[in-house]
Amino acid sequence: MLAEIVISGSGGQGVLVIGRLIAEAGFLEGQEVVWSPSYSAEKRGGTVSCMVTISTEKVGSLMITRPTIGIAMNHAAAIKLEPALKKDGWLLVNQAENGYQPARKDIHFLTVSANQLALELGSESTANIVALGALLSIHPVVSLDGVIKAMAQLFGSKILEMNKQALIKGSKSVKTKDEKI
Amino acid sequence: MDKVIYTKPEAMEDRFTHYCPGCGHSTITRLIAEALDTLKIQEKAVCVSSIGCSVSSYYYFKCDGLEAAHGRAPAVATAIKRCRPELYPFTIQGDGDLAAIGTAETVHASARGENIVLFFVNNAIYGMTGGQMAPTTLVGMNSTSTPGGRKTDTAGYPIRVCEMLATLDGPAYITRVSLHNPANVRKAKKAIETAFRVQMAGLGLSLVEILSPCPISWKLEPTNALKFIEETMIKQYPLGDFKVIDGVKALIEGVNPCSPK
Amino acid sequence: MSKKVLMVGNVAIAEGAVLAGCQAYFGYPITPQNEILEHLSKRLPELGRVFLQTESELAAISMVIGAGATGVRAMTSTSSPGFSLQQEGISYMAGAQIPGVIVNVMRGGPGLGNIGGAQGDYFQAVKGGGHGDYRIINLAPASVQEMMDLTMLAFELADKYRNPTFILVDGFLGQAMEPVIIRDAVTKFPAKPWAITGAKGRPKNLLDSFEMNPVNYPSRVKKLLDKYEIIRRNEVRFEGLLLEDAEIVVVAYGSASRSAMSAVKLARTDGIKAGLLRPITLFPFPEKALRELSLRIQAFLVAELSGGQMIEDVRLAVGLDCEVDLVNRYAGVPLPAEEILESLRGIALKQRKN
């Protein structure tokens, strides 16, 4: 198994955190993992990205140029991620705004209204975790349990419960416009 | 039986120095060695030499010695003290070393209040390299790089190190002494001893600035060089204490005599 | 049982230092290595060891000199512009034979450059950088695990040879996170009778690089040069991947070697017989291993994050009969595996035509 995941969004959207959670969960599940902040030229201008590789084999390149999974926390990120995705790759877009429509037909496309769902739980700050839950329900590169364990390690007890709920809520929420699913 | 009343200090090596005739460095070497004897700390002292005429000054003491790059002696001494607090590192630095290239190290070791001793030999000239302008060269003073004398419009003004460092909260003891006559040499000796005692008592950083003759680069007879200090240099660099924290005052007045650790 | 955790590269260096018995760290903040300084600012005082944030990289290296001279294990870390400042002290350390570890988490340059990862300090680190006749042992980790392991080795080699030792790594690895097996702490340290510990019950110890007597100086430098020859003989380290039947050899270190590893594997699925030689020590350079490979392989591809620096050493090692190509990125930009693969395809195509 080889999953090459790029997560992208604006500063403050918790992009690095979900990357870290995927990496920690993969690690806890005995996989080879690499987490790396992104160094694309587009890093400037408020965009934050990170790359996570989960693999059964020793990982080579730290850098992911053609991800198999893209998580876009906003539309600007989706526009950049879509063309980079591998054929048959997966693109998850946070639909906080107007609907994003992918141009490519050779990728799987998922949406989640992460901000709105997070607000229903009390705070938009868990939107990233909702998005992660959504992705994992369709494409379990790591298990929800693994992510919950990772959260228990990384989060303080104050926010842990809310984030657990966010993960579960996200996992039950996926709206797909993908005919392949 | 004859009584020996004057001899080479125990802590001083039995060898010739590289210092020129009439140079103040020889006197300073002796005064430091005397202090090491008096305080019985030769076995714990570490001489950190600098670059300039004070280079390899560790040759002349019977204590461990270490070479620092130009200007970096306070940083080197800092690390020695932090890693082996039982040692007593001291630096011997000239004006170019301490007040030009090593200004940052001097200021920051002082600001941190490192428990070390800095001996600052101010002869207002770069002796080793042949008499160029130093940061402490007086306005109008000749040097091989200020033809016709130091001019303020291009070369700026001399730095008063003690006055500058005394504004910091870190240092414990800052004083300026001179070697221009026996009475002042005795005061210098006292200051050097006090600086070590400050370190032994763990009170913080001491800087002893010593106005010191450089007859060769000043192009003066040795006696005239002493006169130059007395009549000209002291006007720019007044003698005296610039910072003496309460603990050091008590130490000097003997209220709280220190015992070597 | 050894503990395995996910760790950022820079933190692995810091923890490696702790495990190696580093008693004193001196550093000045500069991106992309700040995690080392920040981590040790907490870790070392907890252990009763010395941490000091210095006024400059000049002061930091001078403090490493002071600390190393007293016989304790000492380290500083920096990134390229700061590394330039430290060359002064490194030359003094080499001259006075004071051990210490200097970490350079390289970024784009010259000048202020940028904060992306790079390998543009190869010449500076491997060939000298400071003034005078000296060499430095250069260790080049290519994973977070190696950032811990080679940091520990750096302390050992520094003590063994009384020589400064570099960890030369790029910012991409410094910032990356990977699983790391935490090693056992070092408990045995070599005796250092030369150290500055106070002249009690022994003749005084002097540590310097200066020699006033011109007659004595050549023999003093000769001793250093002889030592570097011993290091050349004994300390070469490298790793080979798929070299046995390789027809093209990629030579790469650090994060570039990780991209190269992916590229070599992809090339194999394309039917291209590629292999990888990864120098772990840059000085001493695995020149013998490369020379031996050059007897049966005529095509080499150097992948590096610089304008082309290590390639000069590869060319020297393999000689003029071999084709040595360069695939590179510079200015703080990573080198994707796909680009190395493209170069491999180009070379393979040329080989088939011939």
Inter-chain residue contact A23 with C173, CB threshold 8 Å: no
Chains A and C are touching, with contact defined as 3 or more CB–CB pairs separated by less than 8 Å:
yes
Instruction: Using DSSP, state whether C160 is helix, strand or coil.
Output: helix
User: Looking at residue C1, what is its pLDDT?
Assistant: 59
Q: Do C334 and A27 touch (CB under 8 A)?
A: no
C205 vs C164: CA distance, rounded Å: 19
Residue at A39 is within a domain: yes
Domains held by chain A: number: 1
Q: Is residue B31 part of a domain?
A: yes
Question: Quick one: closest CA in C to B13, which residue?
Answer: C204
Tell me which chain C residues have a C-beta less than 8 angstroms from the C-beta of B83: 23-24, 50, 66-67, 70, 72, 74
Distance from CA of A41 to the nearest CA of C (A): 8
d(CA A25, CA A149): 7
| pLDDT, position A43 | 46
pLDDT for B191-202, tens place per residue? 999 999 999 999
- Residue B158, in any domain of the structure: yes
Chain C interface includes A117 (CB < 8 A): no
How far apart are the CA of C62 and the nearest CA of chain B, in angstroms?
Answer: 5
Give chain C's domains with CATH numbers: 4-234 (3.40.50.970), 239-353 (3.40.50.920)
CB contact under 8 A, B79 and C89: no
Chain C residues whose CB is inside 8 A of the A61 CB are 258-259, 261-263, 336-337
Amino acid making up residue B94: G
Strand C248-251 vs strand C274-279: parallel, antiparallel, or unpaired?
Answer: parallel
pLDDT tens string for chain C (354 positions)?
Answer: 579 999 999 999 999 999 999 999 999 999 999 999 999 999 999 999 999 999 999 999 999 999 999 999 999 999 999 999 999 999 999 999 999 999 999 999 999 999 999 999 999 999 999 999 999 999 999 999 999 999 999 999 999 999 999 999 999 999 999 999 999 999 999 999 999 999 999 999 999 999 988 999 999 999 999 999 999 999 999 999 999 999 999 999 999 999 999 999 999 999 999 999 999 999 999 999 999 999 999 899 999 999 999 999 999 999 999 999 999 999 999 999 999 999 999 999 999 887
* Residue A181 located in a structural domain: no
Judged by CB atoms closer than 8 Å, whether chains meet at C177 and A65 is answered as no
- Which residue, A131, A134, A120, is CA-closest to A162? A120
Q: How confident is the model at residue B152 (pLDDT cuts 50, 70, 90)?
A: very high
Put simply, whether B34 touches C (Cβ < 8 Å) is no
Tell whether the model's pLDDT for residue B123 goes beyond 60: yes
What backbone phi and psi angles, to 5 degrees, belong to C166?
A: -100, 145
A47: which strand partners?
A: A10
Q: Which chains touch A (3 or more CB pairs under 8 A)?
A: C
Say yes or no for a CB contact (<8 Å) between B79 and C23.
no
Angle between helices A144-154 and A127-138 (to 10 degrees): 150
Number of domains in chain B: 1
**Residue A39's pLDDT is what?**
55
Which domain CATH number covers A82? 3.40.920.10
Distance from CA of C328 to the nearest CA of B (A): 37
Looking up residue B156, the CATH number of its domain turns out to be 3.40.50.970
Measured distance between the N- and C-terminal CA atoms of chain C, rounded to whole angstroms: 55
pLDDT in tens, B205-231: 999 999 999 999 999 999 999 999 999
Using a CB-CB cut-off of 8 Å, the residues of chain C touching B261 are none
Note whether residue B165 is domain-resident.
yes
- Domain around A110: 2-176
The nearest CA of chain C is from the CA of B236 a distance in Å of 29
Chains with ≥3 CB–CB distances under 8 Å to B: C
Whether B5 is in a domain gets the answer no
Q: Is B86 on the interface with C (CB under 8 A)?
A: yes
- Predicted confidence (pLDDT) per residue in A107-155, tens digit: 999 999 999 999 999 989 999 999 999 999 989 999 999 999 999 999 9
Q: Give the structural domain span for B65.
A: 24-253
The amino acid at A4: E
Q: What is the pLDDT of residue A46?
A: 74
Contacts A36 to C, Cβ<8 Å: 172, 175-177
- The answer to whether position B221 is within a domain reads yes
Cα dihedral C253, C259, C264, C267 sign? negative
Subunits adjacent to chain C (3 or more Cβ pairs under 8 Å): A, B
Residues of chain A with pLDDT > 70, as a percent, come to: 91
B72·C58 Cβ contact <8 A? yes
> B57-97 pLDDT, tens per residue?
999 999 999 999 999 999 999 999 999 999 999 999 999 99
Residue A47, φ and ψ in degrees, nearest 5: -85, 130
Backbone φ and ψ of C198, nearest 5°: 100, 130
Task: Give contacts of A24 with chain C, Cβ < 8 Å.
Answer: 6
Name residue C185's beta-bridge partners.
none
Residue A73: pLDDT above 60? yes
- The token pair at A56 is 């059964």
- Partner residues linked to A4 by β-bridges: A53
Chains B and A touch each other (3 or more Cβ pairs < 8 A):
no
Q: Is the ipTM of this complex over 0.85?
A: yes
- In a domain, residue B4? The reply is no
Give how far C29 is from chain A: nearest CA, Å: 20
Q: For residues A30-45, give the mean pLDDT.
A: 75
**Residues within 8 A of C (CB atoms), A 9-48 only:** 20, 23-24, 27, 32-37, 39, 41
Write out chain C residues lying below 8 Å of B89, CB-based: 66
The three-state secondary structure class of B119 is strand
What per-residue confidence (pLDDT) applies to A181? 47
Distance from CA of C214 to the nearest CA of B (A): 14
**Cα nearest neighbour of A65 on chain C:** C336
* Chain B CA closest to residue C92: B69
CB A63 to CB C173 under 8 A? no
Q: Is residue B19 one of the residues assigned to a domain?
A: no
Chain C residues within 8 A of B63 when measuring between CB atoms: 198-199, 204
Q: Is residue A128 part of a domain?
A: yes
Contact call for residues C209 and C236 (beta carbons, < 8 A): no
The verdict on A84 touching C (C-beta cutoff 8 Å) is no
